[in-house]
Amino acid sequence: MCRTEDGLGAVQLHIYIRLCYRTPDSNPHFHSQIRGRMDSAEVPKEEILQPSHLALDIGGSLIKLVYFSRNNNRLTDKEHKTLGEGPGVSSGDGSYTVLKGKLHFAKFETSKINDCLEFIRCNRLHLGGFCEHEVPRDKIFVKATGGGAYKFADLFNEELGISLDKEDEMDCLVSGANFLLKAVQQEAFTYLHGHKEFVQIDHNDLYPYLLVNIGSGVSMIKVDGDGKFERISGTNLGGGTFWGLGRLLTKCKSFDELLELSHQGNNRVIDMLVGDIYGGMDYSKV
């Protein structure tokens, strides 16, 4: 079952992809799964028609999906040639025509991967650039990363007829972080007690920095430059543990439901704090 996308959160992009949140108008051209969650990024505000490029990050807990929809209904012959490998596919080795449109973000629980497959099928995301009566002649490749890109490769081929072009997860993570820190204004911020404060980034003094990626597990990566990084530590206690324990303790049925409950909770009620150990005495010197 598919339904029309409505009332989704969005991110407005200006010039170097400056991000500001807004709510887009209803878009009848796209369907979204009930159990999936979507946000959009607009570049700039115009009518959005056919979906184009698609990429996936298939993790242990969640599937993250992004696709680009153009403001023009069809690609010109020149644009088709420029896009390189095939319809709906982007490659890091080519130069491409810059197209105006919107980036859409969706996520699904990995355990409900069939919802993700149905979402792609309903919206013809894997057939980007082609109208309903057209069939792509070449084999379709879709960029994908994460462990699920290997685990579910056969499933995507069987259900959608596409091949997952696998990218190294750490390479994608570092390249993406470097791009955001360099190109997006007000991308870096501190967050303390519910207050967010943006930090100015000196591009000439960006490296080294520590990148902590919290997924199903946690990886800590020292980044020394473009393509220069080292995983220095990590732990298997991450989002997967949070979701598993949370589901057992609260009977939540979805990850979003658990996140909503977390905003209402107070960790001081159950966590042992330094004040508990010292019996309320002055322990400022500890």
Residue span of the structural domain in which 178 resides: 170-235
Task: Say yes or no: 148 and 221 in one domain.
Answer: no
Task: Say yes or no: 62 and 49 in one domain.
Answer: yes
Determine the residue type at 153.
A
Task: Say yes or no: 22 and 118 in one domain.
Answer: yes
Task: Say yes or no: 101 and 139 in one domain.
Answer: yes
- Mind listing the pLDDT tens digit for each residue in 253-267? 888 899 888 888 888
Task: Quickly list DSSP for 83-132.
Answer: T-SSTT---TTS------EEEEEEEEEGGGHHHHHHHHHHHTGGGTT--T
Task: Say yes or no: 69 and 198 in one domain.
Answer: no
**Rounded mean pLDDT of 167-186?**
90
Work out the percent of the chain whose per-residue pLDDT is above 90. 34
Domain boundary among 167, 182, 212: 167
Domain boundary among 220, 235, 250: 235
Task: Say yes or no: 230 and 200 in one domain.
Answer: yes
pTM of the entire predicted model:
0.66
Task: Say yes or no: 25 and 133 in one domain.
Answer: yes
Conformation bin of residue 225: beta by default, left when phi > 0, alpha when psi is -120 to 50: left
Task: Say yes or no: 9 and 140 in one domain.
Answer: yes
Task: Say yes or no: 7 and 123 in one domain.
Answer: yes
CATH of the domain at 142: 3.30.420
Asked whether residue 177 carries a pLDDT value surpassing 90, the answer given is: yes
Q: Evaluate whether residue 109 is within a structural domain.
A: yes
C-alpha distances in angstroms, 23 versus 18, 45, 126, 176?
Answer: 16, 12, 26, 25
In contact, 54 and 88? CB cutoff 8 Å: yes
The better pLDDT of the pair 24, 99 is held by: 99
CA dist 90 and 97 (Å) reads 11
Domain count, the chain: 2
Domain boundary among 235, 250, 270: 235
- Mind listing the pLDDT tens digit for each residue in 34-76? 345 555 444 444 333 455 689 999 998 889 999 888 776 555 5
In contact, 89 and 163? CB cutoff 8 Å: no
Task: Say yes or no: 142 and 180 in one domain.
Answer: no
pLDDT of residue 55: 94
CA dist 276 and 57 (Å) reads 42
